[in-house]
Amino acid sequence: MEKTNIGAALKKNTMILALVLVVAFFYWSTDGKILYAQNINNLISQNAYVFVLSTGMLLCILTGGNIDLSVGSVVCFAGGIGAMMMDKGMNLWLAVLVMLVVGLLVGMFQGFWIAYIKVPPFIATLAGMYAFRGLSNVVLQGYAVSVTDTTYLNVFGGGADCYVPDFLGGNGINLTCLVVGVILAIGYIALTVKNRLSKKAKGYTTAPLTSEVIKTVLISALIVWLMYMLAKYRGIPSALIWIAVVLLAYSYITTRTTTGRYLYAVGGNEKATRLSGVNTKKVYFFAYANMGLLSGLAGILTIARAASAQPTYGQGYEMDAIAACFIGGASAYGGVGSVAGMVVGATLMGVINQGMSIMGIEANYQKVVKGLVLLIAIIFDVMSKKEKK
Amino acid sequence: MKNAAQVLKKNTMIFVLVLVFLFFTLTTKGQMFTALNFNALITQNAYVYILATGMLMCMLTGGNIDLSCGSFVCFIGAIGGICMVTKGMGTGVSVLIMLLVGVVYGAVLGFVIAYMNIPPWIATLAGYLAFRGWGTALLSANSSTGSIAPFPQTYLKLFSGKIFETPINELNIPCLVVGILASVIVILLNVMNRNSRIRKGYEVSTVTAMTAKTVISVAVILLFAYKLAMAGGIPTALLWVVAVVLIYEFITSKTTIGRYFYTIGGNAEATRLSGVDTKKIMFLAYLNMAVLTVISAFTVIARFQAANSTAGTNYEMDAISACVVGGVSAYGGSGSVFGMVVGATLIGVINLGMSLMGIDANWQKVIKGVVLLAAVVFEILNNKEKSKE
């Protein structure tokens, strides 16, 4: 009995286990460098766009394994427009708003063709991938435009000072960051207890107490440790706040709202969903419009991180986002996947990227490894589903 | 009157092709119509015809695509460069090695897609990333410039240049003879086909319609033959294109296995239940795609006379566009080699025309994306109308 339990727990959390193993491997092969405070900070700041884009991609994939190949180009296009606006001296908040709106409009445009005309998503977004890459070049006129507004850089995670300031005046360590970590951990524990009690009160089945306690302790410890490491460096990177906002918002949408559940329903069985009176076209439209909006946000974060916009930005981002979702357990046929899983997937990709960079592996081979990781993850997913059947 | 409308509807893309060609001839003040540009149209687009033939076979099986073909062209180029230039192997051996690599990749890809049920676009997305990285890595490991050259003359002669080359603006007799022979064969085939259909009691088109069709095809062939004869002779790449197109036209329309591709795309489940090994067909589609990618890579490398890390960028887009513009259904089950040839030529004409007009490369990308999207939308709306009737 005990053994099968452990086996089941292992199977359910394979990717978490894989993440731990990969971190351990890089810890060993980089002499511990991968867990330096600065590298953890970089891991978050450098991969902010992956978390944001993957969230949008997850919603598209949920609707039936549909993807958006245009996100990289849209990131570049929205970022390019914003950078040009700021370069011309326009208000930075106006520029931010324009980037989000541009992203949203692009998403609505593609969503219209996909949802209402039934153009296959990969073709519609492939067309977008080329068209918006070309338009990015047109907008930027082929040049790199630097982003110099320090407020913008600080808020969206670029430049030297993109950290939440330490209000509490810690000495050598960022106290604000530590305090936030502790508060988050306590909040998480409180939420778990409340959930469990409410489930019990409603008579639902609950996980055994031991496993729930272990899970809660591990996650709270992870939060505190992470914030401690960040505190040791420079504090909370502002990119982390954006990531957290997006992840929390979409966790909520996918698990607690009707719209969110429709995404799963459409991916599970489109026809049945339609026949139960759900406007499935609207669900597709929502998924792609939302993807556009989040691409706009990713564009904002990308040009902040690089402190510039270039016509080549965003290349291959679609790949990162898709890979993060699949590694995180989203089904390539739709209907299955979660924000939490995607976070694990995105982190795994981020760790692999960073670990390889620290080890000094050539960028070209990094591409090969990424491709292989994606393929293995998807094969694993398909195989384990076959077994379940 | 009704007949004319029907003819128009059935051959929309051909009329569009003629109109676009006339448009560019006018806007470029006849430059488009010169012998040299006829030659350029064929040599520059040889790879599209070959790749699109493979893509057609994949798309027939249900709108499945191969995103990796462009990167694989780059990778094969690197392999060829290492074999022929770095290691100094003979042309024959090198060509065989390249083909073998293609067969191995195709078999792996086909196995993963057909027998492990991995969605094609994910499997090929992994290849898209991995082969671009691997190809670039191989090239930069073997050359300081990231480009391997010069390729041996025997190889270049096999896949580029002209047959019985004569100076430009001097009528090339062999080319004209081939053109006339081809015309005679087309006339004979049309007459024989018609007779055999009449004998078997099938429906046939009217004599006028058939005569008109034959006259137009012969006129086009002779025009091309004349223009190519003025440009120095038959481009070697054209021979490869014609061979591939004819073989696959035969396979798709006259062989059992070719028809299976259509039935799977029409209804995979029904096909499987009628005893067809659908997995084998999927496997063959991707194996075939990889082999044709290698052949296409042969012509690309020969045309550039070097293996580059950027070779093959966006080729998947060209191939998919050619198919979709040529009336291949994005959902599988319908499409023809002839239609694809019209589609590929149309895209080739648009590309060449825009270059001659001096349109910025970025806008060209945008227009390409728009053409792809417009073609799919047109096809889908057209089909909707048909199903209403």
Q: Which tokens go with B143?
A: 């050359």
Q: Is B182 on the interface with A (CB under 8 A)?
A: no
Q: CB–CB of B122 and A379 under 8 A?
A: no
Task: Provide the shortest C-alpha distance from residue B330 to chain A (in Å).
Answer: 7
Question: Which residues are CB-contacts of A317 (< 8 A; sequence separation ≥ 6)?
Answer: A49, A50, A53, A71, A72, A75, A298
Q: CB–CB of A371 and B127 under 8 A?
A: yes
Q: CB–CB of B330 and A120 under 8 A?
A: yes
Residues β-bridged to residue A309? A145
- In B, which residues are within 8 Å of A367 by CB distance? 129-130, 132-134, 136
Q: Which ranges constitute the DSSP H helices of A143-276?
A: 150-156, 175-201, 209-232, 238-256, 258-268, 270-275
CB environment B14-52: b (16+ within 10 A), e (fewer): bebbeebbeebbeebeeebbbbebbbbbbbbbbbbbbbb
Query: Which of B126, B331, B369 has the CB atom closest to A127's CB atom?
Result: B369
Q: CB–CB of B330 and A123 under 8 A?
A: yes
What ipTM goes with this model? 0.81
Q: Is B291 on the interface with A (CB under 8 A)?
A: no
Tens of pLDDT, residues B342-362 = 999 998 998 899 989 988 888
In the predicted structure, residue A288 carries a pLDDT above the cut 80 = yes
Q: Which residue has the tokens 């029409």?
A: B266
Q: CB–CB of B125 and A374 under 8 A?
A: yes
Nearest residue of A to residue B138, measured between CA atoms: A364
Query: Which of A67, A363, A375 has the CB atom closest to B123's CB atom?
Result: A375
Output the pLDDT for position A362.
Answer: 85
| Residue whose C-alpha is closest to residue B328's, from B52, B23, B42 | B52
- In B, which residues are within 8 Å of A119 by CB distance? 330, 373, 376-377, 380
Query: Which of B363, B368, B377 has the CB atom closest to A119's CB atom?
Result: B377
Q: How confident is the model at residue B389 (pLDDT cuts 50, 70, 90)?
A: low
Task: Provide the shortest C-alpha distance from residue A103 to chain B (in Å).
Answer: 17
Task: Provide the shortest C-alpha distance from residue B134 to chain A (in Å).
Answer: 6
- The pTM assigned to this predicted structure is 0.85
A interface with B, Cβ–Cβ < 8 A, is 65, 67, 113, 117-120, 122-124, 126-135, 137-138, 142, 316, 319, 322, 326, 332-333, 362-368, 370-372, 374-375, 378-379, 382-383
- Per the model's pLDDT, the better-predicted residue between A13 and B301 turns out to be B301
Residues β-bridged to residue A146? A308
In the predicted structure, residue A1 carries a pLDDT above the cut 50 = no
In the predicted structure, residue B216 carries a pLDDT above the cut 80 = yes
How many CB atoms sit inside 10 A of residue A203's CB? 6
Tens of pLDDT, residues B11-60 = 788 888 888 899 999 998 888 888 888 999 999 999 999 999 999 999 99
Is residue B260 a contact partner of residue B319, using CB atoms and an 8 Å limit? no
Q: CB–CB of A113 and B130 under 8 A?
A: no
Query: Which of A131, A142, A316 has the CB atom closest to B365's CB atom?
Result: A131
A-proximal residues of B, 248-287, CB under 8 Å: none
Output the pLDDT for position A275.
Answer: 93
Q: Which tokens go with A119?
A: 């153009």
The span from the CA of A69 to the CA of A183, in Å, is 39
A·B CB contacts under 8 A: 139
Nearest residue of A to residue B364, measured between CA atoms: A134
The span from the CA of B291 to the CA of B33, in Å, is 34
Query: Which of B362, B366, B380 has the CB atom closest to A118's CB atom?
Result: B380
Query: Which of B119, B129, B376 has the CB atom closest to A65's CB atom?
Result: B119
Nearest residue of B to residue A374, measured between CA atoms: B126
The span from the CA of B313 to the CA of B365, in Å, is 12
Q: How confident is the model at residue B129 (pLDDT cuts 50, 70, 90)?
A: confident
- In A, which residues are within 8 Å of B130 by CB distance? 367-368, 370-372
Q: How confident is the model at residue B273 (pLDDT cuts 50, 70, 90)?
A: very high
Tens of pLDDT, residues A122-161 = 889 989 998 999 999 999 998 999 998 889 998 998 877 7
Q: Is B213 exposed, middle or buried (0-12, 13-18, 19+ CB in 10 A)?
A: middle
% residues pLDDT > 90 (chain A):
50
